[in-house]
Structure 1
Amino acid sequence: MNKIELIPLNILDERRQLVSFVKDVASRLGLQFGWHYILDIVWILEQIEILGIPKGSVILDAGAGNGIVQFCLARLGYKVISVDFSERNPSYNIKRVFKIINLISNKTDFNHKYLNHLKTTLPLQQSIIKESHKIILNILSKIRDIFSQDLKPEITFYKADLQNMELIQSDSIDAVVSVSVMEHNEAEEAQNIMRELRRVLKKNAPMVITTSASGIEDWFHEPSHGWAYSERTIAKLFLFSDTQFESNYGLYDEMMEELRRSEELKKTLSPMYFKSGDNGMPWGKWSPQYYPVGIVYTKLQ
């Protein structure tokens, strides 16, 4: 069944081995965590387990940037298509461990408010934008070629607008994941993205995504340039108004208090937060204003 789940803090205790795996991948690649990303990523990987997505399946990471979950999935044996609106320049550490294939669409220029926000206020997190020298028009053919090679884990970087992934065929993807991306889009954009993600999914295939939750009303968190959504809005945007879903949203206030008292997340807050007031935890002061929430949606037809 579809579900909306405020991600419980005890997942860090119950899945210590998975937590260690994620942190090890991040450490080896020299990557930093967003303040709640360890919760998001462990929850997503756990859902992939629960859903029984077999190794070797093609998983699309929507709005991946240089985020950690795509590398975790590749290490676990999945074929990853990493989609983002920026052309990325992976570090030496990443290229040492993974084979990165760069694919781009004909539409090489994107104008998005959040991209501009990253370029001006979060230089430690932004992807490096550079001019493309190669256009590849048949992504699926290329993916078949690269995945047939018995090499180190491979990730296909696809530069595209999530609202129009023109090179990915309909009904071709085994699962979609996304970490804390949707809240950086206006409602109409988010709905367009969800329709496009649904298009590329195979029948009976799942989306497993995380975003930001508010208690009652939607509101905009200016420092991180992202929305915090109510349960009603999440159901409308991400579950296509399907009324049949599981939810623990009734525990929002209780879980929010527990999050604010979390010493583990507070102590592991990334140094990047202490250098700016334009992020999810301005100037490194531990004061969560929204709660990480996970959504599972299965395409039935």
Structure 2
Amino acid sequence: MLDHLTTEASNPASEDLDELSTLDLVNLINNQDAGVAIAVGQQSVQIAAAIDAISARLRRSGRLIYIGAGTSGRLGVLDAAECPPTFSSDPGQVIGLIAGGPSALQNAVEGAEDNPDFGAKDLQDIGLSSKDVVVGIATSGRTPYVIGGLDYARKIEAYAIGLTCNEVSELHSHCDMVIAPVVGPEIISGSTRMKAGTATKMVLNMLSTGAMIRQGKTFGNLMVDLKATNTKLNERARRIVKAATKLSDEDVSSLLHECNGEVKTAIVVHHTGESPDRARVLLSEANGHLRQAIMGTTGERSR
């Protein structure tokens, strides 16, 4: 039954929705959306714990796997797809699964979310192992496809995280931890692609970004895990190295050329005076963490 779910309740602020002027409609949506960040912020402790759990698994060659249906599944697939171009991560490190398969990204696949066995099978098909983390996304907290996937994850001792927008839900008893930003009723009752979808996107942003930062994918706020392989990436690499080294444009280009376009290697060479080959060794010893590679050699904070 859906009657007890906050995400399915009627929102008193939008009872006259179809009678509003367009401007009043826009203001109502905006005012309702303003509370989403607050709801997500109230889950900061749980989100931080999830990031640490994901990061620990990734360091041991595990994967982050999102599984969901409908909007929840699409948002998981989107977040996974954005990790390789943003962080140069292996495309298989973060995976998004949606009930009904890839065709469900654009067209609803009737009944795909109603069978828990489908969730388990999709995870089996990608070779889920105990090293992995599964984030089951179900704003209602009751989607059978997601619950089946989480049950399978726990069965094989993968770490299972639930993401829902209801404070109390069926999902809670099927995972190792729950993130539950309660955004309240939607302006269109049950249309969880709205506030609940926004909250989901915000949480997924934090999970993947936080985990990648913990893997050494940034230096300060610079996107340093990048190898320049085309014109756009060459320009981005130059900007990043210039910001991290304060060198001239000419010296940045020379340094990157010396380091085969490897941003991290170039920055380590600049800050330590080591050769590119030695810089690569330092980065390997620091598990890819640029600041640690620099400080391990110089004993000083990098500039």
Do Structure 1 and Structure 2 share a fold, with TM-score over 0.5? no
Normalising by structure 2, we get a TM-score of 0.25
More relative contact order, 1 or 2 (CA 8 Å, 6+ apart): 1
- TM-score after normalising by structure 1: 0.25
**Larger gyration radius, structure 1 or structure 2:** 2
